[in-house]
Amino acid sequence: MFSLHEKEDTIVALATPQGVGAIAVIRLSGKDAIKICNRIFKGKDLEKQESHTIHFGTIRDGDRIIDEVLVSLFIAPKSFTKENAVEISTHGSSYIVNQVIKLLIRNGARPAKPGEFTQRAFLNGQFDLAQAEAVADLIHADSETSHQAALNQMRGGFSGEISKLRAELIHFASMIELELDFTEEDVEFASRDDLRILVEKLLRVVEQLISSFDLGNVIKNGVPTVIAGKPNAGKSTLLNALLNEEKAIVSDIAGTTRDFIEDEINIGGVIFRFIDTAGLRETTDVIESIGVSRTQEKMKTASLILYLFDLGDTDMVEINRDINKLENLGVPFLKVANKLDKANDQFVNELKINHPDTIFISAGQKENLEDLKSQILALVNLDKFKTGNTIVTNIRHYDSLVKTRESLLDVLNGLDAEVTNDFLAMDIRRSLHYLGEITGEITTDDLLANIFSKFCIGK
């Protein structure tokens, strides 16, 4: 957390990536953002302009012109951070950017810490904690599905649903706490039946969110995929072929420079993460046959297995045996026959009869890879990715949800056992605490505020 003093500072940072580009955007936020920018800007008097206006001018260090720029003004609270904010669009050279940032620091700004703009937005009530975290996810999203999950979360996502149910639970907590003040009079402000209904409803929502985490994890980190097969089946050739194709696609798009993750492939908007690809690359002494137990362990953690075999070096007995093992493993898999370019027609026909779902490829010649890709996509249940349902992608939320489930179950058990009010209140407060952890609301203040807003205590 930042100290109060630090929150008063005006912070500055480059908002666009480092390096050369057509333009770069430098962002300032804080009470003096406009004033500080005005000191180095020659053009209109920025302090006399309206919010959400753009101004052309020059940035100067004394008489020396550093760049011609466009300055966008956002007057508090109508900005991302809800503070005064300025975005300076300069030409995209790191020299210019450094000069401008240095000048701004000399004139009263301080370099922003990582995430400080978003943190300020959160502290100033722009959004809750879960939404703030989604901003980071959105920036890092590199596939259509992860982008959608993050966007959904940033725009409210499950925060709204949780907040609503939590508010209802706060109501019960305050009623039960109130009962504690009237112990002698044996009154019941909170209907235990209604409380049970609410807790059960909350449990259903929490369960659904918990179970969405696996899917969320897949969306964020990729579908864990294993290529299994004997040495020399062509595993690393296939991986490289898939990777190179994507690399080619990526570099074809003019102006895109993207960090390339060696073992991730984006197929149809879904990221597939290939497990143990390092091992694949040094195939000479790595035994990757399906029989090896270490490989089996790894395969169990996968959501998808590509069973790859060399058409020229595998007989039907072996294939049947491997497929049998894979079926017992219970992980979805594809039968992929490699080296079609030098295969024996008779064997191919035999396979087509015995295993009509085999996909025939030539990794070396990059043949039929499109077919393989569409089969891969068909195997992961795409519908799951497309539902409007909320998906939990954040491990912190997941932990809080699991703890919430435990404490909600305690509330239910307490109701069953007809425990005394103070125990019940304690379990409810614990549930509220964990639910509140997700959105960053503060439990005790909420509870008090709720009691005071509903009751005139002196009466």
User: Which residues bind to ligand GDP, rule: CB under 6 A?
Assistant: 229, 231-237, 280, 283, 338-339, 341-342, 362-365
3-state secondary structure of 459: coil
Smallest separation, CB 308 to ligand GDP (Å): 7
3-state secondary structure of 13: strand
Residue with smaller CB distance to ligand GDP, 43 or 231: 231
3-state secondary structure of 67: strand
Residue with smaller CB distance to ligand GDP, 27 or 339: 339
Residue with smaller CB distance to ligand GDP, 280 or 447: 280
Q: In angstroms, how far is CA 186 from the centroid of its own chain?
A: 49
**278 appears as a binding residue in the annotation:** yes
CB 57 within 8 A of CB 41: yes
Residue with smaller CB distance to ligand GDP, 178 or 308: 308
Residue with smaller CB distance to ligand GDP, 236 or 404: 236
Smallest separation, CB 385 to ligand GDP (Å): 30
Residue with smaller CB distance to ligand GDP, 58 or 232: 232
3-state secondary structure of 403: helix
**162 appears as a binding residue in the annotation:** no
In angstroms, rounded to a whole number, what is the distance separating the alpha carbons of residues 390 and 207?
12
Residue whose C-beta lies closest to ligand GDP: 364
How buried is 173 (Cβ within 10 angstroms: 0-12 exposed, 13-18 middle, 19+ buried)? buried
In angstroms, rounded to a whole number, what is the distance separating the alpha carbons of residues 412 and 197?
10
**13 appears as a binding residue in the annotation:** no
| Cα 172-408-390 angle, rounded to 5 deg | 100
Smallest separation, CB 60 to ligand GDP (Å): 60
| Cα 424-428-431 angle, rounded to 5 deg | 145
**291 appears as a binding residue in the annotation:** no
Cis peptide before 114 (omega within 30 of 0): no
3-state secondary structure of 274: strand
Residue with smaller CB distance to ligand GDP, 131 or 362: 362
In angstroms, rounded to a whole number, what is the distance separating the alpha carbons of residues 80 and 83?
8
Residue 210: count other Cβ atoms within 10 Å of its Cβ. 16
Smallest separation, CB 144 to ligand GDP (Å): 30
**232 appears as a binding residue in the annotation:** yes
**118 appears as a binding residue in the annotation:** no
Smallest separation, CB 70 to ligand GDP (Å): 52
Q: Which helix (H) or strand (E) holds 59?
A: strand 53-61
Residue with tokens 């992980």: 331
**What totals of helices (H) and strands (E) does the chain contain, helices first?**
18, 13
Smallest separation, CB 283 to ligand GDP (Å): 3
CB 206 within 8 A of CB 406: no
Residue with smaller CB distance to ligand GDP, 46 or 239: 239
**54 appears as a binding residue in the annotation:** no
Smallest separation, CB 277 to ligand GDP (Å): 10
> Sign of the CA dihedral 8, 125, 143, 334?
positive
Smallest separation, CB 263 to ligand GDP (Å): 14
**233 appears as a binding residue in the annotation:** yes
**121 appears as a binding residue in the annotation:** no
**225 appears as a binding residue in the annotation:** no
Closest CA to 431 of 201, 208, 199: 199
Binding residues: 232-237, 251-257, 276-279
Binding residues for K(+): 232, 251, 253, 256
Binding residues for GTP: 232-237, 251-257, 276-279
